[in-house]
Amino acid sequence: MQVGVPREIKTDEQRVALTATGATELVARGHEVLVETGAGLGSGIPDEAFAAAGARIVATAAEAWSAEMVLKVKEPVEGELDLLRDDLTLFAYLHLAAAPELAQALLERGTTAIAYETVRAPDGSLPMLAPMSEVAGRLSVTHGASLLTAPQGGAGLLLGGVPGTRAGHTVVLGGGVAGTAAVEMAVGLGSRVTVLDVSLPRLRQFDTIYGGRVQTLHSNRVTVEQAVLDADLVIGSVLIPGAKAPKLVTNDMVARMRPGSVLVDIAIDQGGCFADSHPTTHRDPTFRVHETLFACVANLPGAVPRTSTEALTNATLSATLRLADLGWRAALQADAGLAAGLNAAGGRVTHQGVASALGVQETPVASLLG
């Protein structure tokens, strides 16, 4: 199979969907890898490294997109939509529930779209979302701590404080992979930390791990409001796989927060979990809401492309090899977890969460696979 790796063109996106090591594995199994020139530079992977791995370096995006399967990090954006076609398998982060225009383009062109973020492991976890969630969770706290400084427009607060002063209060909404990473980082910086989740077993795990040093609260309207109003830094890390994130923090809550407080929404790829959230970029990461500072960078792990690219390929390579070896139909027939990643095919939506968010009829994956 021909496997294409185009250069990412989303604003400030320096990751690449495949490392040179991944290319080596594909080539060793008889596949042809087409890498757009410069695709790996932001991640520290020069064209020469891909060429040494046996990949063919191509001069244009169109050549990389001409492959039977295209690997990407972020969803196709304007300038790439015309390259979609009905005999293409696209394997990438897609987040279609929050991207109706992209979903419509994929449906109109009949592209087979497999989303990293909805692929399931046997235990029900999301193995391809996990590494980027870990990166985003850790970055969200360091990013938020920086924004709390006065030159950045924050309250002028050191998140961990020093002896004799008040440490900042970090509130983490959602105790999944990203939330866990955020809690770990916030505790490490010396912040006072509260984590909210709807799962009592998950909250018990936090209590066991941190020996009571982290406040755990069952997430509901009342506890979210109480925690947010006492927060200096709020991390939004709520996830419903494939579906839009619920809006947990209202504009009214934000209006009553302490001036200079910071809110970092790492659920923004799925629409965000704060009512006032909208996507921002690394170049222009923040905006004001009342007297607080919002940060909603949609590709936060792109700030550390070397780490993120390696972690992503570690998570996706085995599935990429199966798709290349067997083709998408046979690969999905053989692996129910990978089949859960199919979001669209043949002009039909095949994921329940995406279909619900878009207001369209779901076509069960099994009906397509026979």
What is the per-residue pLDDT for 225? 98
Residue 357 pLDDT exceeds 90: no
For the question of residue 269 being annotated catalytic, the response is yes
Percent of the residues in the chain that have a pLDDT greater than 90, as a whole number: 94
Phi, psi for residue 333 in degrees, rounded to 5? -65, -35
DSSP 8-class letter at 284: S
Tokens encoding 137: 């969770």
* Residue 242 pLDDT exceeds 80: no
Q: Is the pLDDT of residue 250 over 90?
A: yes
CA dihedral 114, 116, 118, 122 (to 10 degrees): 110
What are phi and psi for residue 40, nearest 5 degrees?
A: -100, 0
Helix (H) or strand (E) holding 139: helix 130-147
AA letter at 366: A
pLDDT in the model for residue 369:
87
To the nearest whole number, what is the mean pLDDT of the chain? 96
The tokens of 109 are what? 């062109």
Tell me the pLDDT tens digit for each residue of 317-355: 999 999 999 999 999 999 999 999 999 999 999 999 899
Coil vs helix vs strand at 343: strand
Hey, how many other C-beta atoms are within 10 angstroms of the C-beta on 91? Answer: 26
Q: Which of 31, 95, 143, 169 is catalytic?
A: 95
Residue 50: per-residue pLDDT:
98
284 catalytic, yes or no? Answer: no
Contact 344, 76 (CB under 8 A): no
The structure tokens listed for 103 are 């979903």
CB atoms within 10 A of CB 224: 20
Read off the tokens for 344: 């669209």
User: 180 or 357, which is more confident?
Assistant: 180
Residues 18 and 7: beta-carbon distance below 8 Å: no
- 197, 232, 265, 269: which is the annotated catalytic residue? 269
Convert the pLDDT of each residue in 25-48 to its tens digit: 999 999 999 999 999 999 999 999
According to the model, what pLDDT value does residue 240 have?
83
